[in-house]
Amino acid sequence: MSFGLWEHDALIAGQFAARRGRQYHSPEKRLLIAVLLGAVEEYQELIHSVESPDDARLQRLEAWFRMSDDKWPFSFANLCHQLDLDPDYIWRRVSQMAQEER
């Protein structure tokens, strides 16, 4: 029996992720996280805008954060529920961050 340097170790995805120190998320969860992070980053960019922020865009984004509809797959409330996050808490932190920047 030979144990060569070039033999492959068999790992399942969860073991690989654990070795890398990251929690394994399904592609669907990663998409939800990306949408939520994208919205927060866009909100930050609008708030930090050196020029006057695009008020219409800012209002639409704030309306999305305040939307309580959980039937639409990409509504803020639904994203938070799917990710086991409290939408009220997330919005409070995001809006608090905006108030501190203004």
Q: Point out the least confidently predicted range of 23-27, 57-61, 78-82, 89-93.
A: 23-27
Half-sphere exposure of 8 (CA within 13 A, CB side): 3
The mean of the pLDDT values for the chain is 77
C-alpha–C-alpha distance, residues 94 and 39, integer Å: 10
Query: Distance between CA atoms of 94 and 44, rounded to whole angstroms?
Result: 8
CA distance 89 to 70: 16
pLDDT surpassing 50 at residue 62? yes
Q: What is the pLDDT of residue 3?
A: 44
CA distance linking residue 2 with residue 82, whole number of Å: 48
The structure's pTM equals 0.68
Separation of alpha carbons 74 and 63, rounded Å:
13
**What are the structural domain ranges in the chain?**
25-101
**Cα 66 from Cα 87, distance rounded (Å):** 9
pLDDT of residue 6: 44
Q: pLDDT tens digits for 1-28? A: 444 444 455 545 555 555 554 555 788 8
pLDDT, tens digit, for every residue of 41-58? 998 888 877 666 678 888
